[in-house]
Structure 1
Amino acid sequence: MAKKVTMQAIADYLNISKNSVSQALSGKPGVSEETRKVIKEAADKLGYQYRTAGKNLSTERKNIGLIASDFAFSHRQFFGEIYLSTEKEATKRGMDLTIQSISSRLKDEMILPSFIENKSVDGLLILSHISTDYINKIISTGIPTVLIDHHDPIIQADAILTNNRFGAYTAVNHLIELGHQSIGFIGDITFSPSYQERWEGYKLALRKNGIEPAKEWMFLDAKEEESSIGSFIDGLNESPTAWFCVNDGLGFLISSKLQQKGIKIPDQASVVSFDNGQLSQLSTPKITTMGIDLALYGKKAVEQLSWRMENKEEPITELLLPATLIKRESTAKAPHASLAGNSH
């Protein structure tokens, strides 16, 4: 019986490394097309048995990576659900998934994980933001990359995003339909593109309904802290009858602060937030919010990455997933004008 030809035998025959042979025969990047052709010819000549005999190289099991900052991974309810759906979809497609958290040190020193540095993955998912320079360094490796819940004008990569503008528009329009004309905004618009876009959606809804946004009711650098929200509310001469908050944490804090001041929710003030996280459900009353299908995020990200790995030269694509209005007890018809001001 003929002796089985190994990758090492091909490497010895051509006087090159076994790793180069492996990359060439598995269709992975890292070797030039000329070298790949020479290696394949040598493999055929020596009688090498391909593991995927009778199949195209594209049917080889793919390895993909998923990375996120320590900060993103700490938000388990939101990003944890996206990660789980990513894992489920990868498994369904017969892919192996490697995960790594990126610490502040790795980010600041621009150190890439070894599986990216040595290109042992066929594609990569980046969950949320790390830093623009860090993400661009990854993209410069040539590994097909898809961003999840983040994008930037100077990052050239596919992205799976929430339709933040239209989501915020829907939320604020809901308040306007209830008769609210004075609507405040709470959020740090410099924190992420999502919050900036939600602010734009808020302004769009007001202007489409002939309402001029009032600067004194827009808290554009709001920190998710009780003291920050408290100081802002206490400093207002007059309160709006409704608030739109860029996330549930801020919605929870606004709702709590207004009630401490004796303003009844929703009788005297309505509150809408975004994300449908635990805080919107734990708040008393429960907060009307914009729900995001987190499982769909992971599914679409793996779907897009699979396509991108096969279509590397196609134009960059951004996919916007819808947000859905979930009506709860924190929103009601606008009170009479006499109730619009502070209770003091």
Structure 2
Amino acid sequence: MVSIKDVAKKAQVSTATVSHVINETRFVAEETKQKVYMAMKDLNYQPNRIARSLRSRKSNTIGLLVPLVAEDTSNFFFMSIANGIEKVLKENGYNLILSNSNEDEVTEKNQIRVFNTQLIDGLVIAPVNGEDSAYKKELTGDYPVVYIDRHPSGIEGDMVLVDNLRGAYEAVRALLNKGYERIGFITGTLGITTSDERLKGYKQALEEKAIPVRKEFIKEGPATFEQGYQLAKELHEAEVSALFVANNVMTMGAVSYLQEHEVKIPEEIGIIGYDDYDWMKITSPPLSVVRQPAFEIGKVAVEQLLKRINGSKEKYTEVMLDSELVQRGSF
């Protein structure tokens, strides 16, 4: 194996100089640096990144922990966030390690413990739920953390969120303004802050128009295609005039039910879904949705994380990004 001594000999410098070039621990003239780099290239010498990280306490690696579930199309949402993160990291010479909590609190805790041993410089995390038990006890690593998408209760920290309440409110208000009043609401499991906020937005829009909130029009279930299909069936049979589906995979299930039973959209029922994916543009008619700024969430989150890594002591920030109602032909 090629050693640092071999590099020093070929570059005709001391081993200390090679070490300073690799670890950037002391000024080295540009001409000397180039000699060392050329020697490393010629000898195909690869510095030991782990040893280097242990010496400098800096790995130039960021962790990302998100709740991916195999059957949930929200994976596209989190992957868009990851793309935003990775773009900024590449521009700043950092690498990304992606980990999955699988929407399970025990798995999430275990993944955080793994990150605590991996010498990461910072962590971006989309929490499994809004409780704080998984964080105060587990986040013992010496690195900054930025929370995204969901707001964990009882935690002080930097957060990048989307105004889910406003997004749901504007969607339901748009349905109301079109004359729909018997509006059904389909949601994934409540208790997650994003789901709870979307329900609040739904209720707020109805109350503002003095329309009673009817419990039988609010349907909750696991965020699956099958549940979206079944709950849309129940609401259609309850003769709602419109559906607001606050979860993307359940939107797919709901649309499938309506198409399968030849329910005319928007003549017989209006519908607005959540998040914006290509399949929503090719339904007949194209589906109206609440679009979230996924890429921007990742970009803003990692920019704040890098500030912390570089020593920022400013107060914790909570950035609230706006969603957008995209009107197509479904209401």
TM-score of the aligned structures, taking structure 2 as reference length? 0.73
Of residues 61, 64, 69, the one that matches 1:63 is 61
1-structure distance, mates of 2:302, 2:216 = 43
Whether contact under 8 Å (1:165, 1:201) holds in the other structure is: yes
Paired AA for residue 271 in structure 2: V
Whether contact under 8 Å (2:66, 2:78) holds in the other structure is: no
Paired AA for residue 64 in structure 1: I
Matches within 5 A, 1:73-152: 76-102=75-101, 107=107, 110=110, 112=112, 114-117=114-117, 120-129=119-128, 132-152=132-152
Q: Report SS of the residue matched to 1:272.
A: strand
2-structure distance, mates of 1:158, 1:141 = 16
Q: Report SS of the residue matched to 1:273.
A: strand
1-structure distance, mates of 2:156, 2:230 = 40
- Structure 1 vs Structure 2 CA RMSD: 3.5
Q: Cα deviations across residues 116-166 of structure 1 (Å, max 9, x unaligned)?
A: 225x22211124538854444443334210122222113333221111000
Of residues 16, 24, 33, the one that matches 1:4 is 16
Paired AA for residue 64 in structure 2: L
Instruction: Using the TM superposition, name which of 73-82 and 171-180 deviates more.
Output: 73-82
Q: Cα deviations across residues 235-272 of structure 1 (Å, max 9, x unaligned)?
A: 77641211111023222322332344453210011000
Q: Report SS of the residue matched to 1:160.
A: strand
Query: Cα–Cα, structure 1 residues 176 and 126, in superposed 2: closer, same or farther, change >3 Å?
Result: same
Paired AA for residue 69 in structure 2: F
Matches within 5 A, 1:1-344: 4=16, 26=56, 28=57, 62-69=60-67, 71=69, 76-102=75-101, 107=107, 110=110, 112=112, 114-117=114-117, 120-129=119-128, 132-190=132-190, 192-221=192-221, 223-226=223-226, 229-230=229-230, 233-234=233-234, 238-310=238-310, 314-331=314-331
Query: Cα–Cα, structure 1 residues 282 and 250, in superposed 2: closer, same or farther, change >3 Å?
Result: farther
Number of residue pairs aligned between Structure 1 and Structure 2:
286
Q: 2:34 matched to which residue of 1?
A: none
Query: Cα–Cα, structure 1 residues 306 and 283, in superposed 2: closer, same or farther, change >3 Å?
Result: same
Q: Cα deviations across residues 70-125 of structure 1 (Å, max 9, x unaligned)?
A: 5389854222221122111111123333334457697277364555225x222111
TM-score of the aligned structures, taking structure 1 as reference length? 0.70
Whether contact under 8 Å (1:183, 1:244) holds in the other structure is: yes
1-structure distance, mates of 2:71, 2:296 = 18
Instruction: Using the TM superposition, name which of 135-144 and 282-291 deviates more.
Output: 135-144
Q: Which runs of 5+ in 2 are unaligned?
A: 1-12, 21-50
Paired AA for residue 292 in structure 1: Q
Q: 2:40 matched to which residue of 1?
A: none
2-structure distance, mates of 1:62, 1:312 = 17
Query: Cα–Cα, structure 1 residues 156 and 281, in superposed 2: closer, same or farther, change >3 Å?
Result: same
- Report deviation, 1:319: 1.4
1-structure distance, mates of 2:216, 2:286 = 26
Q: Report SS of the residue matched to 2:69.
A: helix
Q: Which runs of 5+ in 1 are unaligned?
A: 8-20, 29-59, 332-344
- Report deviation, 1:295: 1.5
2-structure distance, mates of 1:24, 1:237 = 63
Query: Cα–Cα, structure 1 residues 224 and 68, in superposed 2: closer, same or farther, change >3 Å?
Result: closer
1-structure distance, mates of 2:112, 2:154 = 19
Paired AA for residue 68 in structure 1: V
